[in-house]
Chains A and B, each alone.
Chain A
């Protein structure tokens, strides 16, 4: 049982700081082998999770959700009202999305998602978060200088557009619904999904185009 003693854990961290090898690969290898030795884990299941999050569970799921919302007004309405149920319809409900909220970009609103306190992310629809999302520069600046952050991503936001930053401080997770690109009227749902970038669903990308995409 955990003892919930912060002082004790801080001391454990000091010991780990002094005694663990510096190489992260060695640290994780030691963790895995201890868990295997104690019968708490099977390495084949670790393999399966890595495969699942490399091949199946990633931003292409979110892109499919966005493309469906662009193509089907009823689905979009459902997604905005009850996102967990709407993504479950496509088979994408899962890790960290039971309290998903979708926030919609419009001509006058741009949404940007961050987690300043840790690294909360809607894993089952966007997969593993990019390194920058979890790094101090993004986490510290997104709430204070969102327009400067966006400029570093090559996104210039007109002064007339309101920027809304969503800091994921609870178990709610946020997905940005980007605007459908002009000139995409004739595209199928599958083709539309190909235009959606991961960053557009976090909010560090804005103007998608009907020609360039997306997630491979």
Chain B
């Protein structure tokens, strides 16, 4: 989706605010949202659907509201979409007992236990598949020119561009379909692009941009 989130190379966002306080959280509510995200999740959701729901936030909110606020808003949206919460509950902050059967609350965990949970959350996204990779290391490839209106991980700036296969990583969950509830796996490659292939203003330079791209995004044919 060519949404507001697809920021690579877009002009106009100014200088980087590099001076910020030390520490992971700058407000107590940021820490709460981080903690919520680590221990509650909309049932049966994929990371790709969650990411897509975040991409669908209205552009002014996406760009201007604080980062962890967008996580809270995405959580609300996915809970409402999945029927766990109603819009009325979210707006009022008051639970409607008819809306969702109360679960038996999980046992509380302490710091030592959540550090073990963090270790367990080292989720893998790869799998063995029956098909061999189409492309080989050092082969020239061309990326898809079009994109589509759903979730995708081929950024606009890297469409219709010529790159070289730098590495093959086996088959990984294909995000475009995972964001529609279908888990399929497809060969994933690191593709290296010369900076002057991507950006018209870049002259003689050896600088490069590497992206991790799925086979569906790539073609070996000349455009």
Contacts and interface: CB of A to CB of B under 8 A. Distances in A.
Interface of A: 1-6, 8-10, 12-17, 19-20, 24-25, 27-42, 44-58, 84, 88, 91, 93-95, 97-99, 114, 116-119, 124, 127-128, 130-132, 134-141, 143-144, 146-147, 149, 152-153, 162-172, 204, 216
B106 A45 contact: yes
B77 A117 contact: no
B121 A95 contact: yes
A47 B16 contact: no
Contact of A169 (B34, B150, B213): B213
A130 B24 CA distance: 7
Contact of B111 (A56, A116, A141): A56
B140 interface: no
25 contacts: A1-B43, A4-B179, A10-B56, A16-B73, A24-B69, A27-B73, A28-B32, A34-B89, A35-B40, A36-B105, A39-B105, A40-B103, A49-B39, A50-B34, A52-B118, A116-B155, A117-B8, A137-B14, A137-B17, A140-B8, A141-B13, A164-B210, A170-B125, A170-B175, A172-B169
Contacts of A54: 23-25, 31
Contacts, number: 328
Nearest to A51: B111
B126 A99 contact: yes
Contact of B68 (A24, A37, A216): A24
Contacts of B32: 28-29, 32, 46, 50
Interface of B: 1, 5-18, 20, 22-29, 31-36, 38-40, 42-45, 49, 51-58, 61, 63, 65-69, 72-73, 75-85, 87, 89-91, 93, 95, 100, 102-111, 113-115, 118-126, 149-150, 153-155, 157, 169, 172-173, 175, 179-181, 188, 190, 198-199, 206-214
B6 A117 contact: yes
B4 to A, nearest CB: 9
A125 to B, nearest CB: 11
A52 B114 contact: yes
B118 A168 contact: no
